[in-house]
A and B are shown apart, each in its own frame.
Chain A
């Protein structure tokens, strides 16, 4: 029986190492598989569900009460949810928040997301922490647990997987909606500033909102866009987005970025940061269980100032492999991993974490301004007018 007196359909989570968790289903019925990771944010589950970087993953929330504030049409980070399976301690079916439009469970059913609740999520998290992220299968109803374990064990690791190409946009589009503000909703800024071409490896909308809010003209380009196509747009700056999977495996991106970063001010976030590092000649590696949360301390090695950052990555840049003229600007204070890079001679920089937050603290937000200031708006417009406009309205994407 569920916490909310709803149905008591069983749900089973089977890990590749044979560990089984049996709980209650919520959201959609069915079977999903992916790498199981945990996120330590205490708020923002809706943003997490819609973050394309979670493609191929099942997400465990460490905070136990999930669903409290329901779901609304504004707190989305993409055009649909990407998390395949959602693992929580207690799912809450009666939301209470003035902006709530539907329950989390209803939203998950609508989008085919399978959920499990009522399991010892802390035990699961400790297992992931000690043994590393691993593949898992989550299924509702009566299941053969041995078969689920076998299925999980047979799944390939995310290492070598090009997931960016799966989640990226099929067509280029323009973006002009600004940041959300209490009582005002999303801003509609005048966008006559520098033209940014944003590579979509799984981009979060709040990145686009931040760029537009500063007045940037933004064109979002598919992951596989060629350098020539980018040049046609005549941008003032290049943005490399976050995204899922192994940076080394993203089809075609590394050489394109290597070329373009020589020509345009460039800013990369998360997967974009890793791709930039690879393009500049460094190497990346898969971490044990990565960083997924909104409380990661990052120090600016130049000023000593600490930012509390939102993070979501399972790969990192190896500091030992950095080429000349590329330096580390930020370090994670928890484990000393590389959190930021900068080219010493070119206007090219990147961070491993998420200055767009959403969810998470806004400490790192000034990085967008830094990028803005590196770009010089050209007198003549770029080639963006040929590209269709896109936005989010209600729970759906709109194209116009």
Chain B
């Protein structure tokens, strides 16, 4: 049946900022949905607060709103655009929740907006625990047996019925905290009473524990004719107990017979029908008892999910795109399978390879957090890899992670068992190490509950490592053995470690033996039909299906897994480069290993290689494709760090030459550049030992910024105000790595930081934007909010910044994008660093100025001039854009929320309005930190920030808010003639400020700190604000911006603007 003609305009809600649990997979799904619906001729209205997304490019929707994902903003957009329908299933839980809220407050009904792709009843049935349980009962499916209890005695009765072990979950605690497993009667008594105590309503759920069971997921689609297909089955390597987002997962399921798999498939179909998902994709999770096969349903998500993105990439079946088409009335049999083109989407993909996903963690960023995996998701990204066997797929995934691992490197811990028993981010390596030390599969199974099938695979890998090691030398390895090692997924680097040689030697040895990978196609059908989309992965077999063309072609190296410091922004740049080069007549080739991204969609680039981004893997693709040029500038550090080695191998890198990159990155060489241009930078030096560091600090003066050389994202960077602290830092740094010097920079206290993005074609430099940071220098640029155009810098300073940027770009010989960070202190401009590549801010800038910087840069790199491309003038927008960072602190108990030189944010939002205050207010709202409109503001600031209090306190007071401060701050505020109540610090005893926050008597928290003691003392204030969901500001600058926002808002909601209208204003 044809698509629906009764609807013309469809609104899509995105997922907002990247947070743990909701990453760029929803940009992938949203972008697919936008494309699919526009293709069908619908007018698409999009709302998403995340400027780094590809979907929010004005070309993907007819009307694009980068506005907070709130009911107010969405209602205003609905009122302005009058959509006929709303598709809520593409924006993760955020999108779904917003749709439910819009329904519940009557907005949808008022404006006659129909929900498509999901209905309220089915969403509720899937998400409400009791309704879901009842629904499963209706179709005869089991859930873990459970009962709610209010006393320990009631708990005992439940245990009598279901037996131990049990999971006890206290009701209504924050983020489900306080849940625990009881394996014995004693543990039960203890956990039960503790849980009841923790629960504010003295209630807990006692549930049959399924920890240690096998976990499976099925990705399923249904159309309105009740056709249902399973797109993919996924088996978790980690047993139940680890969040599926944090689990290593394998597609398809490996350890089920057909009978068992079909039971799961039948159950999934029944669940789709019972929950009533009429059209679209869903995900159902099951647990299977490893010894009896008993199957219980864990949950279902009635929407596109992280797993659907994985399943789409794993099979070549584009779930989001097809879900969007189903939502407008098509049925599966009416939608063609793009890959085969001759067969329809109403089939179940079958794959002839093994897919492994490994999550990427960043525990190193949150030192206070324990590296322990639980049912709370903590990973920030993931990699996927494809191999013809599980071993190959697993080992390719390891090196895709970019955590400095090339395979199963040894672990030195004496006692492995704690790392085996408690799931953690490195458990896989500990499993391998355990095999190295002679553990049996049986023993490891008992310790880890990882299915023996996976364990045996790892055991064989380690046994082979031993065989290789014992042969000693590379020269002693025959071709057949080397070929087998490669087929098992061993990287050249890991082989070089095992054979005591260089990676280059292994590569040369392979070349001599003709041991090269071939490329196979991901085609949804295991080669039953011919594939028309070159979506490829490497393996060591006979037949290569790459069939490279002889067109002029450019290869783009992607950014690899999302992590803090390198996220979706770089995928945005890669995708744009790809589109730009296609427009310029090139064939585009994408290389990436991140399944969440738009770049790894098979219809983004002309050719897609789903491969690790290591030197070895990239060189092999280059050898096969022979591209005209390779772009390393757009994928962040990942490809950039390959630049030199690739060039040395004769790979044609286009854009800024690797030597220019080196001149910008090498401290000494960069110093010469600045001297030549007579530009200033903060005094700095390097130190290898404590005494040297002390001498330097004495010379350049405290405070100083210290960091190890060769780090990313501000890792281990600290600001040091005292010599004691410096000594302590140096000792720690020397202990962890005595080879690399420590970099010591003069820290410009109270300086304003500025980010500049610019494009240079070798002759002309065009400034993309100057962004002024809200937070003072000392906060990592990725964590700082910023304003475009600057909100306080004088025209003279801005012009000086422009001059310096031009000089730097031309001197370095930049071809393409460049980002410069400056610090402005006492009207002097200091260069902090230059990155001759696409920066994190490129998408934000592009949205603000209405120019696709990444596209222009890609064409510059391919040889066109800025003049030819018609981009010769800086665009100064007629409105203010504020970018704000979003943090994952809530997921890491015990972690402070203070900002510093180490980047901690996972994502960003954008607020756009006519004034700085309103734009800031929008950005804060979008970041989940909405400015208060009434109530009490609690203020406790360090002495150095008191001078700012005049403005801040006065504005809050003028907006009719009450002020509450700790002794010193309150007295100071009263001294300004502004009313302010006093409350105890925590150390002064109850009732103190944290009591007030936890009791809900505070509407916002302003807390800045100086000394380490005060940081320690006030930690509970910030944590309380975070956990209670109260907006908080930890720098005076942010507090000042917030006060301006509150003043301008004056209790009203700001208006909404479509990007298309805003950009028209710029023109």
Contact = CB atoms under 8 A, between A and B. Distances in A.
A122 B347 contact: no
Q: What are the 7 closest A-B residue pairs judged by CB atoms, nearest first?
A: A44-B258, A62-B526, A359-B258, A123-B543, A96-B453, A295-B348, A43-B258
21 contacts: A40-B350, A63-B351, A63-B526, A94-B441, A94-B452, A96-B452, A97-B255, A98-B291, A122-B543, A129-B528, A294-B348, A299-B333, A305-B225, A306-B346, A333-B333, A333-B347, A334-B342, A358-B259, A359-B258, A359-B262, A361-B348
Nearest to B266: A362
Nearest to B347: A297
Interface residues of B, number: 64
A360 B258 contact: yes
A230 B352 CA distance: 45
B389 A129 contact: no
A4 interface: yes
Interface string A117-145: 00011110110010000000000000000
A46 interface: yes
B257 A99 contact: yes
Contacts, number: 180
Contacts of A46: 257-258
Contact of B541 (A122, A180, A333): A122
Given A41-B350, A43-B256, A306 B333 contact: yes
Given A1-B484, A180-B259, A306-B346, A361 B265 contact: yes
Interface stretch (B63-71, B292-300, B812-820): B292-300
Contacts of B441: 94
A263 B275 CA distance: 45
Contacts of B253: 43
A9 to B, nearest CB: 15
A308 B229 contact: yes
A63 B354 CA distance: 9
Interface in B375-390: 388-390
Interface string B709-730: 0000000000000000000000
B209 to A, nearest CB: 19
Interface string A349-377: 00000000111111000000000000000
Given A62-B352, A94-B452, A333 B344 contact: yes
Contacts of B260: 97, 99, 182
A75 interface: yes
A126 B527 contact: yes
Given A94-B452, A361-B262, A129 B527 contact: yes
A295 B225 contact: no
Nearest to B518: A120
Residues of B contacting A: mostly: loop
A362 B388 CA distance: 28
Interface stretch (A65-73, A379-387, A392-400): A65-73
Instruction: Please classify how large the interface on chain A is, using the bins under 10, 10 to 19, 20 to 34, 35 or more.
Output: 35 or more
B332 interface: yes
B541 A123 contact: yes
Interface in A238-268: none
B469 interface: no
B226 interface: yes
A192 to B, nearest CB: 26
A47 interface: yes
Interface in A173-188: 180, 182-183
A180 B258 CA distance: 12
A227 interface: no
Contacts of A304: 225, 331, 333
Interface in A258-299: 293-297, 299
B542 A297 contact: no
A89 interface: yes
A90 B342 contact: no
B463 interface: yes
A150 B986 CA distance: 91
Given A69-B255, A121-B352, A180-B259, 14 more contacts: A3-B389, A41-B258, A43-B253, A43-B258, A64-B354, A94-B452, A98-B293, A293-B528, A297-B343, A306-B227, A360-B258, A360-B262, A361-B262, A362-B266
Contacts of A357: 262
Contacts of A99: 257, 260, 293
A96 B265 CA distance: 20
B295 to A, nearest CB: 7
B344 A297 contact: yes
Contacts of B529: 129, 334
A10 to B, nearest CB: 12
A107 to B, nearest CB: 13
Contacts of B254: 65, 68
B258 A295 contact: no
B12 to A, nearest CB: 27
Contact of A295 (B259, B295, B347): B347
B451 interface: yes
A5 B229 CA distance: 38
Nearest to B445: A96
A74 B332 contact: no
A59 to B, nearest CB: 14
Contacts of A358: 258-259
A42 interface: yes
Interface in B196-229: 225-227, 229
Nearest to A95: B453
B261 interface: yes
B263 A65 contact: no
Interface string A306-338: 101000000000000000000000000110000
A334 B343 contact: yes
B150 interface: no
Contact of A3 (B252, B342, B349, B460): B460
B622 interface: no
Contact of A122 (B229, B262, B463, B527): B527
Contacts of A296: 347
Contacts of B252: 42, 63
B889 interface: no
Interface in B310-368: 331-333, 342-344, 346-354
B904 interface: no
Contacts of A1: 484
B1045 to A, nearest CB: 54
B261 A4 contact: no
Contacts of B352: 40, 62-64, 89, 121-122, 125
Contacts of A98: 290-293
A4 B545 CA distance: 28
A42 B264 CA distance: 14
Nearest to B484: A1
B33 to A, nearest CB: 23
Contacts of A4: 460
Given A293-B350, A295-B347, A75 B292 contact: no
Contacts of B290: 98
B263 A182 contact: yes
Interface string A81-95: 000000001101011
Interface string A182-225: 11000000000000000000000000000000000000000000
